[in-house]
């Protein structure tokens, strides 16, 4: 476990320190699936007079810390939004920078993620990436396919509507080929045709940097997600704030359209 991130080291340095939000997590009520819109790299950089690229680099460092924290907290599935189907509209220089950053992040982190039993999977369209990155994506997925630790989905060239359309098309093709009858297409069947096949629905949907929107992320999977918005820009997001979101989630009254026990 990535104990060096928090806990051990910190309390040895200062045994009098108050328990952090991480120590106070209710481990019996952890969201199984946490989704994160990692927004605000550009605004973080601008506020410091830095380039947007520097913001994305800082965001990648934050991701590394948050993946470890989520795994240590016992979260089963973490899905992060790295690049949307709409982000191609950005200037080519920024898109190029992001692609190189994803590639080097993967190269740098793969061994450590694997050693921690994380199962990495990419969700989204594969049709616009370069060959080298595509190969690295596949190698990473193959390497970690048998891992039994936290499932870590990275949404790259991902759009919720695009994912739903691709699923609908693949089911329609199977129906047209006589492999499936339209009546068999129920919620479970449809969920299993999505890129997140096999994962539980999103319990907790976090968006950093203050905007109150979904931006086409996990539209099907978040049907009953609890939403957590914070003004913190992604590079400043900490394991402690993730723990606060998890604690906040534990206090929510989820009714799923029904009534609570005391209604």
| Residues annotated catalytic, as ranges | 39, 87
How many CA atoms within 13 Å lie on the side-chain side of 227? 12
Closer Cβ to ligand IPE, 22 or 98, answer by number:
98
Q: What is the DSSP string of 50-63?
A: --HHHHHHHHHHHH
State the burial class of residue 137 (Cβ atoms within 10 Å of its Cβ: 0-12, 13-18, 19+). buried
Phi and psi angles of residue 206, each rounded to the nearest 5 degrees, phi first:
-110, 135
User: From the CB of 39, what's the least distance to ligand IPE, in Å?
Assistant: 5
Among residue numbers 13 through 42, which ones bind Mg ion (CB under 5 A)?
39
User: From the CB of 207, what's the least distance to ligand IPE, in Å?
Assistant: 8
User: From the CB of 211, what's the least distance to Mg ion, in Å?
Assistant: 7
User: From the CB of 224, what's the least distance to ligand IPE, in Å?
Assistant: 21
Rounded Cα–Cα distance for residues 114 and 103 (Å): 16
Rounded Cα–Cα distance for residues 62 and 223 (Å): 27
Q: Does 230 bind ligand IPE (CB under 6 A)?
A: no
Q: Locate tokens 């086409």: which residue?
A: 216
Rounded Cα–Cα distance for residues 24 and 162 (Å): 39
Closer Cβ to ligand IPE, 6 or 122, answer by number:
122
Task: Output the residue with the shortest Cβ distance to ligand IPE.
Answer: 42
Query: Residues 173-212: x/- map of binding to ligand IPE (CB under 6 A)?
Result: ------------------------------------x-x-
DSSP code of 262? Answer: T
Query: Residues 11-50: x/- map of binding to ligand IPE (CB under 6 A)?
Result: --------------------------xxxxxxx-------
Q: Does 82 bind ligand IPE (CB under 6 A)?
A: yes
Closer Cβ to ligand IPE, 189 or 219, answer by number:
219
CB-based contact 52:42 (threshold 8 Å): yes
User: Which positions touch Mg ion (CB under 5 A)?
Assistant: 39
């Amino acid at each position: 476990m990535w104990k060096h991130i928090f806990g051990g080291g910190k309390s040895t340095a200062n045994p009098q320190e108050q328990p952090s939000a991480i120590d106070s997590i209710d481990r019996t009520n952890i969201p199984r699936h946490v989704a994160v819109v990692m927004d605000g790299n550009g605004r973080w950089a601008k506020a410091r007079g830095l380039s947007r690229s520097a913001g994305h680099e800082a965001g990648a460092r934050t991701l590394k810390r948050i993946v470890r924290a989520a795994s240590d907290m016992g979260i089963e599935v973490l899905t992060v939004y790295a690049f949307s189907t709409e982000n191609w509209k950005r200037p080519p220089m920024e898109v190029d920078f992001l692609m190189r950053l994803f590639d080097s992040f993967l190269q740098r982190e793969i061994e450590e993620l694997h050693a921690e039993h994380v199962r990495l999977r990419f969700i989204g369209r594969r049709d616009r990436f370069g060959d080298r990155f595509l190969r690295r994506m596949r190698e990473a997925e193959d390497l970690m396919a048998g891992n039994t630790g936290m499932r870590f989905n990275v949404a790259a060239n991902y759009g919720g509507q695009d994912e739903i359309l691709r699923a609908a098309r693949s089911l329609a093709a199977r129906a047209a080929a006589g492999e499936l009858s339209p009546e068999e297409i129920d919620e479970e069947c449809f969920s299993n045709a999505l890129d997140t096949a096999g994962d539980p629905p999103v319990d907790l949907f976090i968006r950093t940097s203050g905007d109150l929107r979904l931006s086409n992320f996990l539209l099907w999977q978040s049907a009953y997600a609890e939403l957590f918005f914070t003004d913190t820009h992604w590079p400043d997001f900490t394991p402690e704030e993730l723990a606060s979101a998890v604690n906040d989630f534990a206090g929510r009254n989820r009714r799923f359209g029904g009534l609570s026990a005391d209604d």
